Structures are given as structure tokens and as C-alpha cells.
Amino acid sequence: MKIIPTLETERLRIRPLVSGDLEDCHRLYVEIDWIDHELDLAANRVRRASWLAWTIDSYRELAALHQPPYGERAIERRADGAFLGLVGLVPSLAAFGQLPAFGGRTDERVRPEMGLFWALRPKAQGSGFATEAATALVGYAVDGLRVERLVATTERDNRASIAVMRRLGMTIEENPHPTSDWPQVVGVLNLE
């Protein structure tokens, strides 16, 4: 496997993260409330710095191991370089076989799938940036990695994310077991 190159669309650049992205990543996670509320902002920033270093190292290490190029990438606006959010390929583990799109077998055990992830700063939401960035990454997954399928997961009340899944052409599946701890909504995109 290889490291995903910088991808460009009409309005966006999707590039590997660098250490200088720490403040932007930290601000994104604060703004979308993906922080650990048991920690103060300084401790959350330390946690984000650790995650960023791990992400940057994982690009190289996963490539050296010939593994999929998992990890988030920065989404920036080409016109001015503004950091808009993150998009990436991530491991996703659930009992996907229980969903109709995977055969609907009630006794299916958990298995890994390649997941598609996105998160945008609130001021960048509603402009089609998530769909544009995800579409670029899907294109690379198809052409560069020859991936058979991608999944995306979210909660039932995240209508914006579900709308992005639909625009990507994903089949939307609801968790057949509402009390289970695996994802509430799964988008499935077969690429073959």
C-alpha cells in the first residue's frame, strides 16, 4: 500500500496532516464538541497533539507494513488555504453482516470494513465541502486502492452526515438492534 497523495478538487485540497495543523484540529474538535468533557481544554489539546503525532507517524508506518492508508487528512480551501475540517479512511468494526446490504444474517459476528470519515468546522458546513472531499477520497479508494466497499457510520440524529452519505450514493441502513452499542446508521457504498 502507499500513502494517499494530496488530492485536489475544484474548491478543495485534501492533504496529509502535519504537526502545524494542531491548533486547527483542536479547534475543530472543540467546535463540534468531540472533546473529553472530563478533561479541561488544555488536557484535550494534549490529547489532540498525541493523536496528531500518531496520525502523522501512521502514514509512514502503515505504508511500510503494506497496510491500507488509514487516517484522517486535512481539508483546506484551495483559494486561501483555510482549514475546513478532516476526511479520511478509517477502520470500522461492527456486525455489518446483520444489515440487509450485507446479507442480513442475525448470527453474524463483527468484522472490519474500510470506513469513510469526515468532520467539518461548523462555519464550513452546508457548503457541500464534506461531499466534495469525500467524493475525492472515494475516487482514490476506487482507482488508487481498488477497494470493493466503503462504509460510513453516524447517529440517527445526524441528518447532515446522512445527507452526505446519500449524495455519495450510499445505501443507508439502520442498526437492526437499537439497544446495541454499534453504529445507529451505516452508509454502504459498493464500488465494484
- At 165, which CATH number? 3.40.630.30
Q: Which three cell numbers stand for residue 62?
A: 502503515
139 within some domain? yes
Domain assignment present for 174: yes
The answer to whether residue 94 is domain-embedded is yes
Among 19-28, 46-55, 104-113, 116-125, the minimum mean pLDDT is found in 104-113
Q: Give me the domain span that covers residue 126.
A: 7-15+71-190
On the question of pLDDT at 83 being above 80, the answer is yes
pLDDT (tens digit per residue) in 96-122: 888 888 888 888 888 899 999 999 999
160 in Cβ contact with 118 (< 8 Å): no
34 falls within a domain = no
- Tell me whether residue 33 is in a domain: no
Residue 41 covered by a domain? no
- Read off the pLDDT of each residue in 10-26 and give the average, rounded to a whole number: 98
Domain tally, the chain: 1
What pLDDT sits at residue 106? 81
Domain assignment of residue 117, yes or no: yes
Query: Can you tell me the mean pLDDT for 164-189?
Result: 87
Classify residue 97 as exposed, middle or buried by CB count within 10 Å of its CB (0-12, 13-18, 19+).
middle
Q: How far are the Cα atoms of 28, 91, 95, 108, 109 from residue 104, in angstroms, in the given order?
A: 36, 21, 10, 8, 12
111 located within any domain: yes
pLDDT of the residue at 179 = 64
Average pLDDT of the residues in 48-55: 98
